A and B are shown apart, each in its own frame.
Chain A
Amino acid sequence: MTYKNTLSSKRMLPLHGLAGAVFLVIAAAFVWRMPSNSKATDTTKDIVAVSPLHVTKIATLGAPDPTASYWKSATVAVVPLLPQTITKPTIEKSEIHSMEVQAVSDGTNIAWRLAWADPEADSAVDSGKFSDACAIQFPIGTNTNLMMGHGGEVEIFLWKAIWQRDVNLGFQDIRDLHPNAWTDLYWFSKGGLETNIKDAFADPRAKQWMIALTAGNPMSQMDRKQPCEECTAKGFGTIATQAQQSSQAVGVWAGGQWAVVFQRPLRTEDVTDYQFGLHASEFALAVWQGSAKQAGGRKQFSGWVPFELLNGNIK
Chain B
Amino acid sequence: MPKIFNKQIDREMDYPYETSPPKRQVAYIFDTNKCIACQTCTIACKTCWTSGRGQEHIFYNNVETKPYGSYPMGWDTKLQEQRVQVTWNNKRLESPTIFEGNSPNSPPDGWRPTSEDYAHPNHGEDDISGIIEKTAHFAGEHPMWMFYLARICNHCTTPACLAACPRKAIYKREEDGIVLVDQERCRGYQECVRACPYKKVFYNAVSRASEKCIGCFPRVEQGLQALCVEGCIGKIRMHGFISTQTPPREDNPLDYIIHIRKLALPLYPQFGTGPNVYYVPPIHVPIGFCEQLFGPGVEESVSLYRKLKDDPKLLGALFLFGSTDHIIEHFEVKDQVAIGWNAKGDEVSRVPFTEYTYVRPHHDKEFQVYRHNTA
Contact B105 A85, beta carbon cutoff 8 Å? yes
Q: Is B164's CB within 8 Å of the partner chain A? A: yes
Q: A126-B205, A210-B207, A212-B209 are in contact. Are A181 and B56 (CB under 8 A)?
A: yes
Q: Is A177 an interface residue (CB 8 A)?
A: yes
Q: Report which of B57, B105, B114, B188 forms a contact with A295, defined as CB distance below 8 A.
A: B188
B183 touches A88 (CB 8 A): no
Q: A126-B205, A217-B184 are in contact. Are A209 and B191 (CB under 8 A)?
A: no
Q: Is the CB of B206 within 8 A of A215?
A: no
Contact between A217 and B118, CB atoms less than 8 A apart: no
Output the nearest chain B residue to A182 by Cβ-Cβ distance: B56
Query: Does A6 interact with chain B (Cβ within 8 Å)?
Result: no
CA distance A298 to B187 in the complex (A): 13
A182 to chain B, nearest CB (A): 9
Give Cα distance in the complex from A292 to B248, angstroms: 47
Residue of A nearest to B188 (CB): A219
Looking across the interface, which residue of chain A has its beta carbon closest to that of B119?
Answer: A178
**Alpha-carbon separation in the docked complex, A212 to B204 (Å):** 10
Chain B 178-196 interface mask (CB, 8 Å, partner A; 1/0): 0000011111111101000
B22 within 8 A of A: no
Q: Is the CB of B203 within 8 A of A126?
A: yes
Q: List the B side residues contacting A67 at CB < 8 Å.
A: none
Task: Please state if B207 and A88 are interface contacts (CB–CB under 8 Å).
Answer: no
Majority secondary structure, A binding face: loop
Interface window among B47-55, B216-224, B318-326: B47-55
Interface residues of A in 284-309 (CB under 8 A from B): 293, 295-298
Q: How many A-B residue pairs have CB under 8 A?
A: 138
A208 beta carbon closer than 8 Å to chain B: yes
Tell me if B246 counts as interface (CB < 8 A to partner A): no
Residue-by-residue, is A189-209 near B (CB-CB < 8 Å gives 1, otherwise 0)?
100010001001100001111
**In the assembled complex, A236 has its CB within 8 A of some CB on chain B:** yes
Q: How far is it, in angstroms, between the C-alpha of A236 and the C-alpha of B188 when the chains are bound?
A: 16
Query: Quick check: is A254 within 8 A (CB to CB) of the other chain?
Result: no
Q: Is residue A46 within 8 Å, beta carbon to beta carbon, of the partner chain?
A: no
A85-B209 Cα distance, complex, nearest whole Å: 24
B354 at the interface (CB under 8 A from A): no
- Name the residue of chain B whose CB is nearest to the CB of A172: B205
Q: Are A87 and B105 in contact, CB atoms less than 8 angstroms apart?
A: yes
Q: Is the CB of B105 within 8 A of A236?
A: no
> Which B residues contact A (CB, under 8 angstroms)?
49-57, 105-107, 112-115, 117-118, 164, 166-168, 183-191, 193, 202-209, 211
In the A-B complex, the 9 residue pairs with the smallest Cβ-Cβ separation, listed nearest first, are A209-B52, A296-B189, A128-B114, A212-B207, A212-B209, A219-B208, A212-B183, A215-B184, A295-B189
Sample 19 A-B pairs with CB under 8 A, ordered by A number: A88-B166, A89-B106, A89-B166, A126-B114, A127-B118, A127-B190, A128-B113, A129-B114, A162-B208, A181-B56, A197-B53, A211-B183, A211-B211, A215-B184, A217-B184, A217-B208, A220-B208, A295-B189, A295-B190
